[in-house]
Chains A and B, each alone.
Chain A
Amino acid sequence: MSVQEITFVIIAVIGGVSAVRMVTSRNVVHAALYLVVTLAMVGAVYLVVAAEFLAWVQVLIYVGAIVVLLLFSLMLTKAPIGRDTLDNQQRGLAALVGMGVLAGLAFLIQDSFGGSKPITLHQATTEQVGVTLFRGFVWPFEVVSVLLLAALVGAVVIARKDDPAGSRRGPDRRAPLRRGSEATRR
């Protein structure tokens, strides 16, 4: 085993265990924290396989932004604690399906790459990623921007507090905004 492999195995064990703990934890906040650990370990895996830029993106966006969003939604919805409230009755069946998927994938991996040689890793620099992104993948990049815009607009519309404001014919569409500015004035 090479140094990379040993490092990887340690990381993968921590990541895998916390992934399992995340989906079985009885406390939502613990689940979120286990998710943080898993995501951080995935980031570490990226470092091990020399995908440096991706590792930082992983930490910034996943651990930084997405987990915070998820914690926010847990907080805003006052998620309860306890196995019965968090898991449904088909836990056994779900476990069976999960194990089945794992077995299937393990078989597939063994079958396809069981005897493959170790990979010699090449560092992909941020510069290379940038060049590829803006050369070969300009169009997908543009599509992603549209996707983010649609998500942004839509999420605001859906989550906006519904006074009759929702409708143009309601008393005043801009009501929530004004209330906000009053508050700041005070």
Chain B
Amino acid sequence: MLSVLGQVSGGPAVAHGKLLFRPIGPELILVGVALAVMLLDAGYPERHHATLALLSLAGLAAAAAYSLSLWSWTGPTTVLGGMVAADRFTVFFRLVILGVAALAVLLSYQYLERADEVRGEYYPLLLFATAGMTLITAAADLIVVFLALEVLSLSLYLLTGFSFRRLASAEASMKYFLLGAFSSAFFLYGIALAYGATGTTNLAGIAHGLTGQVGPLSLALAASGLLAVGFGFKVAAVPFHMWAPDAYQGAPTCVTAFMSAGTKVAAFAAFLRVFDVAFSPLIWDWKPFVWILAALTMVVGSVLAIAQSDVKRMLAYSSVAHAGFILVGVTAASHAGIQAAMFYLAVYPAMILGAFGVVMVVSGRGERGLTLSSYAGLARRSPLVAAVLALLLLSLAGIPPTAGFIAKVAVFTAAIQSGHWPLALVGVLASVVAAFFYLRVIVLMYMQEPVIAGGQREAETGFDAEPGAVGSLGFVAIAVPALLTLIFGVFPGILFGVLKSASIIRF
């Protein structure tokens, strides 16, 4: 950690003597496969859609296998001149993100086929976004944090507008883009101030500089505030959440599923690393700020979700509320807090991705049937899909024996241990409010008759009662997350065992 400061004159990367590329292997694989998919698409226009999807899946699997091999990495903790961290924290988040991406590919395949919007550039963009996400979890320098954030954001702006024949998609893309770029500017200003305060952009170097009180402290405080604003935008924390409902509603549902899960995990991984490493000397100064952010996010997200009649919008607000719950774990800032936040970040993507997956399966071609009323009587039309959605919603609501329950208990316990019991109380109350709208959907599915408006049901929902209509791939993509929430709900020890060593952030 201290060596970073000593390397200033020689240029950091050469200080280790050689460049170690192994810890960035997963990203190299992802980008390589993205290029391969692009070339395949360009060279063989008559290729099959399935080939592209399969190749992407293979790439994701290879990257995951490679990440797993880094679990036993014994080399230096940061490589490439202190730019990239090689710790188990990174491996854990990489695996989560790669899993999310793999499920998103399955969903996308079905979505694009159904919507007749197959274009070969979709998968490379998805892989670029994934590479950005995995890279940001490994970033040990604010330069890399920023660039990885931009790689993932730019790819997602484009994916959001991907089904551009739908007006809502283009609109969502524009709103997401403008607000995202605006927040990037704040984030950058924060980085610039952090650099001014400590003379380095290296996370460990910043921590060192702040401990020694070398620079002016107010500058560092402003820097941490601006960085929190930037991260707040990316994780959709209130009051920086305005883009989320629009972007989530307008984007193609498979992209919504991907970004609601992936972006949050990636941004929170960076949030944890930046605030618990770089700004750890200022912990008592940034804590109140994040505290307020967490409380606001939980309450506003839960309350606004009730008012929604569009399922995607409702889930978007639900994901806003969940960002608040994760922030509770971040606020605790203890080892238990990090562990709880990480548990949440492993479980949350499964729940939200599965839920959006079901929404995608239920909504017809061209994104119809997204109102809550189209879920009435779903259990009768398609019992299996309804059961999966019910399970996922219970987990989102935090009802045992699902993983969502364990995750909430973990973050609240960590908060209470750190003396933030009022925050935990706010969280519990917000969960109770939130439970209402999740249960409302379940009630609709199981206890109401399907709405048939003059035989228009088929046309409106585009979903017929045949189980085959779900598509086996689509069903896998929603069944796997549902299973995971159940497994981690009943045996949370599996995950906590892994987290014991993964939650130590080395830098």
Contacts and interface: CB of A to CB of B under 8 A. Distances in A.
Give me the 8 closest cross-chain CB pairs, A-B, nearest first. A154-B158, A135-B11, A112-B216, A136-B11, A150-B128, A139-B80, A136-B12, A143-B147
Nearest to A133: B11
B504 interface: no
Contact of A139 (B84, B162, B218): B84
B301 to A, nearest CB: 24
B155 A168 contact: no
Interface in B71-130: 80-81, 83-84, 116-119, 121, 124-125, 128-129
A13 interface: no
B19 interface: yes
A153 B143 contact: no
A88 interface: no
Band of interface residues on A:
20 to 34
A173 to B, nearest CB: 6
A151 B117 CA distance: 20
Given A146-B31, A166-B119, A157 B162 contact: yes
A158 B148 contact: no
A143 B158 contact: no
B140 to A, nearest CB: 11
Given A138-B13, A157-B119, 8 more contacts: A108-B219, A112-B197, A139-B80, A143-B148, A146-B151, A150-B129, A158-B164, A166-B164
B118 A140 contact: no
A140 B83 contact: yes
B144 A140 contact: yes
A111 B13 contact: no
A174 B44 CA distance: 12
A153 B38 contact: yes
Nearest to B147: A143
Contacts of A174: 45
Nearest to B148: A143
Contacts, number: 110
B219 A112 contact: yes
Contacts of A132: 11
Contacts of A146: 31, 128, 131, 151
Interface of A: 108, 111-113, 131-132, 135-140, 143-144, 146-147, 149-151, 153-158, 162, 166-169, 173-174
A166 B45 contact: no
B154 A139 contact: no
Interface SS, A side: helix
Interface of B: 11-14, 19, 24, 31, 38, 45, 49, 80-81, 83-84, 116-119, 121, 124-125, 128-129, 131, 135, 141, 143-144, 147-148, 150-151, 154-155, 157-159, 161-162, 164-165, 173, 196-197, 215-216, 218-219, 222
Contacts of A168: 45, 49, 118-119
30 contacts: A108-B218, A108-B219, A111-B216, A112-B215, A112-B216, A112-B218, A132-B11, A135-B12, A135-B14, A138-B19, A139-B80, A139-B84, A140-B141, A143-B148, A144-B147, A146-B131, A146-B151, A153-B38, A154-B155, A154-B157, A154-B159, A157-B121, A157-B125, A157-B162, A158-B161, A162-B164, A162-B165, A166-B164, A168-B49, A168-B118
B154 A157 contact: no
Nearest to A159: B164
A156 B218 CA distance: 44
Contacts of A153: 38, 121, 124-125
Contacts of B165: 162, 166
Nearest to B129: A150
A185 to B, nearest CB: 22
A138 B80 contact: yes
A143 B151 CA distance: 8
Contact of B119 (A113, A143, A167): A167
A108 B119 contact: no
For A139, A153, A169, which residue has the most chain B Cβ atoms within 10 angstroms? A139
A155 B81 CA distance: 33
Contact of A136 (B13, B45, B116, B124): B13
Nearest to A154: B158
B151 A167 contact: no
Given A140-B147, A146-B131, A168-B49, A131 B158 contact: no
